[in-house]
Chains A and B, each alone.
Chain A
């Protein structure tokens, strides 16, 4: 019923609406990495060296802003070569090498199955002796040590070993009376010096890599692929990479590489390169909203929640036209949010929405904040990530963002916050004491730091941060050529609040600063790295962070609409606003609304 209604509404809306200027959306760096990972499982991040993706509306996945320069094209081509090479080239048989192990620890390190020469070196008096070897407690061999008059003797034997850490035991058993010469008397009795392991020789064929198996699905060994298999393999690769069924023509085109190549392996490598630089892989092309087909819908969902391509389950549901069934969609959203790949939402959406991605590049003044360290920076980031993840995975009401009574802390961060009884480096969920001054994202050190200058707080920046990111009511930008604050002799000694009050005396500034500055002033108890304080230098602080919590709780539906609008902007890659959402909704409900409404709520154009 509801779907029908929405559909009708969509038709009406789109009859009048101008379509967005572009719906061809290039994968950004994160999406490229994730897509290649899920497609081929190569063990590196190919987009690490790509140019930065410009952002718009606060996110770096906005269709219109993602341009494609020749430099990037060059990198796409180079990355495709590297990826295809890594995926298609069979593992190279290992070279024999020598490892030496001290007598004190004879856990050998064996990476590949093969024959190994084990050499035992014995120091000390050249008494006649036998050497008994066992591996993992199983006797292997007993060899005689000849009695030559040298103080380093060795014996060796060959054995086949599989990958692992077998424990070698060596026992020296006397095989005659001790040698009695003036030289020998100076020496200790014979004892084990070290063990050398040489190999592997005749190594077993290494198992194909995960990437190799994803390309060649028929299971033929390298060099023995067939054209028929190549064809089904390519069809499968192209389908997954393009995120929709492929036509016979497309497969024929790709098969040209295989048919003309030096070998099937090499042809597959080239065809894979071609897939990876094809616009069908690099772009997600959606028709104007309302008429998404099932595969486009599946892609929108998977890039929204995973920043990656649909998995087999989503693809099959799209193929069966079932994905948009409300119950199916509901359970898929839950499944996807619980999947580790939903980490992408935290790292992309969360870190950009809250601006905590900037924490990496900020450098608080070490003179003023000696306690700020790389570790603390990482902890701050971790806290916000875990908090965001818990709201997603535990499907918490989104009002937790503004007033959670718990936090994710380790000992260092808890000490920084002045919260007792948290021991150890491990992060865990902590119920916050009533007097902790924490609870909600706006009290987290990560957010308080990114909304400050390196050497001081900025009530203006913090006020703007709250208005813009939590209440979708960023003040309009200042008028051009703002007259500077009057430079009075008292300015230097005046408190921040007094100085900004001068600013607000100007009517042109007052209208917005009246909204921003009071919010920032109430956060003045947190210094520029989020540490609690009651005075700034000699000036005592007159602030009330609790007023912010009350205000946000009162406005929690507005907060919910803000979050929903930002999520939708992120999901659709263009500016969107959502005008109904409530703070009581859970994160997954918000996602569901967005996926359902996306086809009938269009962008507000600017």
Chain B
């Protein structure tokens, strides 16, 4: 086995002293993927309202650990999963902003930036790791990234204690003020990935040319409009122009790319009623997006922070969020553990499919970095440290505990590094977790 030392063995930034136990154990998880001919994919799978950590964290470190109850569905994939303990998203803590831990949990999960506490005016978090990756590797694909969720974010009212729902509804922030809403309808995901399957090449060419000419006109018209506006309107118009440019890129991409991708399954008709069917269908779509090279970067939220979903499929009719505030009640704890395990069963299904999908010289899972976890550890007390984090990919089979308070964003930097995106810092990172 070859081991590679980092080019930058001294970590940058103020957190250079962060201890990196079992650094060498990490190498096989990543090293081979960087050399593979197939590009590396990156996905974040999010579950809301924390996890019962007692039933998640293995008792032992290293390779010889027993899978705790919530992780038992991963048994067949044990050697593809690293369990990373000890990571913290400090920016999710109140830091003087009082309540709102749920909103902050999702807003900081991939950004590492403490979000501005506002119910409307001046929404701001930070650019998220998936979007950093998308801005680099996404130019090579039809869609730079794909944001998915298995829960509609349409609830009204304050989403959490004075935070706009924008903070709960997505993990992905293209800029500090532009959250990217996820798609929740499998049919629409399919249409985004594969477009109108029945369009003939001539119609398609004509449509793309027409779209390009419309965009040209609108660019010009918007410039004229912007000239008439005060500075306060510019942020929204800039956002509009940026989105317009992205669409222009997609049209140019589509004009060059006349290979019609044939999806391997039928177009879904809508949202399945059964939760497991729903999640699995979204996982299937994510997989096919990766497999066909339609995108390399994705986020998928199984639910939003504060989710009130009642998991009747497994006999739980209480809403999820309230029972995570279990106050130590064993009956409620048992229900939360069952929900956590149920989610994990769906993730295991996804890993199984990724593993059985050939890709280049290996499988799709070999060429992917899939992070699974939540922005809270203990949902009862809203803890932002020692987060539940799994990293699935080509290899694994180890449980690694980092020093307390190691920023979660150090993991993000490492993931980016593996994607060939070398940046010095992201959010509150203080070094790279491992290389």
A residues adjacent to B (C-beta < 8 A): 19-26, 49, 51-52, 54-60, 62-65, 67-74, 77, 80-81, 249-250, 253-254, 256-257, 270, 273-274, 277-280, 282-283, 285, 287-288, 351-352, 355, 357-358, 361-363, 365-368, 453-455, 458, 468, 474, 476-482, 484-487, 491-492, 574-575, 603, 605-606
A56 touches B166 (CB 8 A): yes
Nearest CB in chain B: distance from A51 CB, A:
4
B232 touches A67 (CB 8 A): no
Known pairs A358-B155, A453-B322. 9 more at Cβ < 8 A? A24-B229, A56-B123, A68-B178, A68-B236, A70-B243, A279-B225, A283-B236, A455-B318, A484-B325
Inter-chain CA distance A198–B105, complex, in Å, is 65
Known: A58-B158, A575-B121. A26 touches B236 (CB 8 A): yes
A453 touches B318 (CB 8 A): yes
Known: A65-B164, A278-B221. A480 touches B382 (CB 8 A): yes
Q: For residue A52, which residues in chain B have a CB less than 8 angstroms away from its CB? A: 152-154, 169, 181, 184
Inter-chain CA distance A287–B228, complex, in Å, is 11
Known: A57-B119, A71-B183, A487-B329. A279 touches B240 (CB 8 A): yes
In the complex, which of the residues B94, B122, B174, B210 contacts A69, with contact meaning CB atoms closer than 8 Å? B174
Q: For residue A358, which residues in chain B have a CB less than 8 angstroms away from its CB? A: 155-157
- B306-332 interface mask toward A, CB cutoff 8 Å, 1 = contact, 0 = none? 001010100001110010011111000
B218 touches A481 (CB 8 A): no
B322 and chain A: residue at smallest CB distance: A453
Q: For residue B236, which residues in chain A have a CB less than 8 angstroms away from its CB? A: 22, 24-26, 63, 68, 283
Inter-chain CA distance A606–B181, complex, in Å, is 24
Known: A363-B310, A606-B118. A67 touches B317 (CB 8 A): no
Q: For residue B181, which residues in chain A have a CB less than 8 angstroms away from its CB? A: 51-52, 54, 69, 71-72
Instruction: Kindly state whether residue B89 has any CB partner on chain A within 8 Å.
Output: no
B residues adjacent to A (C-beta < 8 A): 93-94, 98-101, 118-123, 144, 147, 152-159, 161-162, 164-166, 169, 174, 177-185, 188, 192, 207, 210-211, 213-214, 217-218, 220-222, 224-225, 229-230, 232-233, 235-237, 239-240, 242-244, 246-247, 250, 308, 310, 312, 317-319, 322, 325-329, 380-383
Nearest CB in chain A: distance from B59 CB, A:
25
6 closest pairs, A vs B, by CB? A56-B120, A477-B99, A477-B161, A73-B243, A24-B236, A54-B166
A73 touches B156 (CB 8 A): no
Nearest CB in chain A: distance from B214 CB, A:
5
Nearest CB in chain A: distance from B60 CB, A:
29
Q: For residue A55, which residues in chain B have a CB less than 8 angstroms away from its CB? A: 156-157, 159, 164-165
A64 touches B122 (CB 8 A): yes
Inter-chain CA distance A62–B119, complex, in Å, is 10
Inter-chain CA distance A69–B158, complex, in Å, is 22
Q: For residue B158, which residues in chain A have a CB less than 8 angstroms away from its CB? A: 58, 474
A279 touches B164 (CB 8 A): no
Q: For residue A21, which residues in chain B have a CB less than 8 angstroms away from its CB? A: 121-122, 232, 235
Inter-chain CA distance A24–B261, complex, in Å, is 39
Nearest CB in chain A: distance from B386 CB, A:
14
A454 touches B308 (CB 8 A): yes
Q: For residue B144, which residues in chain A have a CB less than 8 angstroms away from its CB? A: 70
B120 touches A62 (CB 8 A): yes
B119 touches A357 (CB 8 A): no
Q: For residue A19, which residues in chain B have a CB less than 8 angstroms away from its CB? A: 230, 232
Nearest CB in chain A: distance from B220 CB, A:
7
B328 touches A487 (CB 8 A): yes
B169 touches A288 (CB 8 A): no
Nearest CB in chain B: distance from A575 CB, A:
6
A455 touches B317 (CB 8 A): yes
Nearest CB in chain A: distance from B102 CB, A:
11
> Looking at chain A's contact residues, is the secondary structure mostly helix, strand, loop, or mixed?
loop
B156 touches A72 (CB 8 A): no
Q: For residue A49, which residues in chain B have a CB less than 8 angstroms away from its CB? A: 185, 188
Inter-chain CA distance A280–B122, complex, in Å, is 22
B250 touches A74 (CB 8 A): yes
Inter-chain CA distance A454–B311, complex, in Å, is 11
B382 and chain A: residue at smallest CB distance: A481
Known: A22-B232, A73-B243, A365-B317. A605 touches B121 (CB 8 A): yes
A357 touches B156 (CB 8 A): yes
Q: For residue A63, which residues in chain B have a CB less than 8 angstroms away from its CB? A: 236
Q: For residue B159, which residues in chain A have a CB less than 8 angstroms away from its CB? A: 55
A69 touches B180 (CB 8 A): yes
Inter-chain CA distance A21–B161, complex, in Å, is 22
Known: A257-B217, A288-B232, A358-B155. A77 touches B247 (CB 8 A): yes
A285 touches B164 (CB 8 A): no
In the complex, which of the residues B123, B221, B317, B383 contacts A64, with contact meaning CB atoms closer than 8 Å? B123
Inter-chain CA distance A12–B9, complex, in Å, is 61
Nearest CB in chain B: distance from A22 CB, A:
5
Would you give 15 A-B contacts (Cβ < 8 Å), ordered by A?
Answer: A19-B232, A21-B121, A22-B235, A51-B182, A56-B166, A71-B192, A72-B243, A73-B240, A77-B214, A273-B214, A363-B312, A454-B318, A455-B319, A476-B98, A481-B94
Nearest CB in chain B: distance from A186 CB, A:
51
Inter-chain CA distance A59–B157, complex, in Å, is 7
In the complex, which of the residues A54, A274, A478 contacts B214, with contact meaning CB atoms closer than 8 Å? A274
Inter-chain CA distance A216–B382, complex, in Å, is 60
Nearest CB in chain B: distance from A499 CB, A:
9
Inter-chain CA distance A58–B100, complex, in Å, is 16
B210 and chain A: residue at smallest CB distance: A270
A57 touches B247 (CB 8 A): no
Inter-chain CA distance A279–B119, complex, in Å, is 25
A58 touches B156 (CB 8 A): yes
Q: For residue A257, which residues in chain B have a CB less than 8 angstroms away from its CB? A: 213, 217
A73 and chain B: residue at smallest CB distance: B243
B211 and chain A: residue at smallest CB distance: A77
A454 touches B310 (CB 8 A): yes
Nearest CB in chain A: distance from B219 CB, A:
11
A603 touches B328 (CB 8 A): no
Known: A22-B236, A23-B233. A68 touches B243 (CB 8 A): yes
A81 touches B207 (CB 8 A): yes
Nearest CB in chain B: distance from A549 CB, A:
23
Inter-chain CA distance A62–B239, complex, in Å, is 16
In the complex, which of the residues B100, B155, B225, B308 contacts A280, with contact meaning CB atoms closer than 8 Å? B225
Nearest CB in chain B: distance from A584 CB, A:
28
Nearest CB in chain A: distance from B312 CB, A:
8
Inter-chain CA distance A279–B233, complex, in Å, is 12
Nearest CB in chain B: distance from A368 CB, A:
8
B310 touches A484 (CB 8 A): no
Known: A24-B233, A485-B327, A575-B121. A357 touches B322 (CB 8 A): no
A277 and chain B: residue at smallest CB distance: B218
Nearest CB in chain A: distance from B73 CB, A:
26
Q: For residue A280, which residues in chain B have a CB less than 8 angstroms away from its CB? A: 221, 225
Inter-chain CA distance A134–B285, complex, in Å, is 60
Q: For residue B312, which residues in chain A have a CB less than 8 angstroms away from its CB? A: 363, 366
Q: For residue B165, which residues in chain A have a CB less than 8 angstroms away from its CB? A: 54-56, 65
B247 and chain A: residue at smallest CB distance: A73
In the complex, which of the residues A68, A81, A279, A368 contacts B222, with contact meaning CB atoms closer than 8 Å? A279
Q: For residue B153, which residues in chain A have a CB less than 8 angstroms away from its CB? A: 52, 54
